[in-house]
């Protein structure tokens, strides 16, 4: 059974600090990894995708993948109040597979 685990939070981070979000997955066949941001009442918005071990940076966001440990993380630097949202980790085996989502981490950036 495919499982994606996240700490539901809430995770409270001061404005300007680094927010660190973590995710583990059970299916070793997973090939693609994604972070989505979801504001209350809105649909998920893709932030980052990562496919190989290591770090991938995009602006204030860094995704980290460790396939051996089955671990994915998202770092948000210089956190802003507008980053307050639920962050969903999602994984896929690729091909015709849809994404399997974690339950999400509720992030609160304190001004």
Partner 1 sequence: SAVISQKPSRDICQRGTSLTIQCQVDSQVTMMFWYRQQPGQSLTLIATANQGSEATYESGFVIDKFPISRPNLTFSTLTVSNMSPEDSSIYLCSAPRYPAGELFFGEGSRLTVL
Applying CB under 8 A, among 28, 43, 82, 111 the residue interacting with partner 1 is 43
Kindly state the tokens that stand for 4: 């994606």
In this chain, which stretch among 19-27, 57-65, 70-78, 96-104 interacts with partner 1, using CB under 8 A?
A: 96-104
Kindly state the tokens that stand for 61: 């966001």
**Residue 100 is a binding residue for partner 1 (CB under 8 A):** yes
User: Quick one: 83 or 102, whose CB is closer to partner 1?
Assistant: 102
**Residue 63 is a binding residue for partner 1 (CB under 8 A):** no
> Is there a contact between 35 and 87 (Cβ–Cβ < 8 Å)?
yes
**Residue 111 is a binding residue for partner 1 (CB under 8 A):** no
Tell me the number of residues near partner 1 by CB under 8 A: 21
**Residue 10 is a binding residue for partner 1 (CB under 8 A):** no
| Min dist. Cβ of residue 73 to partner 1 (A) | 18
Applying CB under 8 A, among 44, 65, 76, 91 the residue interacting with partner 1 is 44
- Residue recorded with tokens 């980290």: 64
Strands (E), 59-104: 61-66, 71-76, 85-92, 100-101
Measured in residues, the chain has a length of 111
**Residue 102 is a binding residue for partner 1 (CB under 8 A):** yes
Kindly state the tokens that stand for 62: 């860094």
Secondary structure (3-state) at 78: coil
């Amino acid at each position: 059974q495919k499982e994606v685990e996240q700490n539901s939070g809430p995770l409270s981070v001061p404005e300007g600090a680094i927010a660190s979000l973590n995710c583990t997955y059970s299916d070793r066949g997973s090939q693609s990894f994604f972070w989505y941001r979801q504001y209350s009442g809105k649909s998920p918005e893709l932030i980052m995708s990562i496919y190989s071990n290591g770090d991938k940076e995009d602006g204030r966001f860094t995704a980290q993948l460790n396939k051996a440990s089955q671990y994915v993380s998202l770092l948000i630097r210089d956190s802003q109040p507008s980053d307050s949202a639920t962050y969903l980790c999602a994984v896929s085996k690729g091909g015709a597979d849809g994404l399997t989502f974690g339950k999400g981490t509720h992030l609160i950036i304190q001004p």
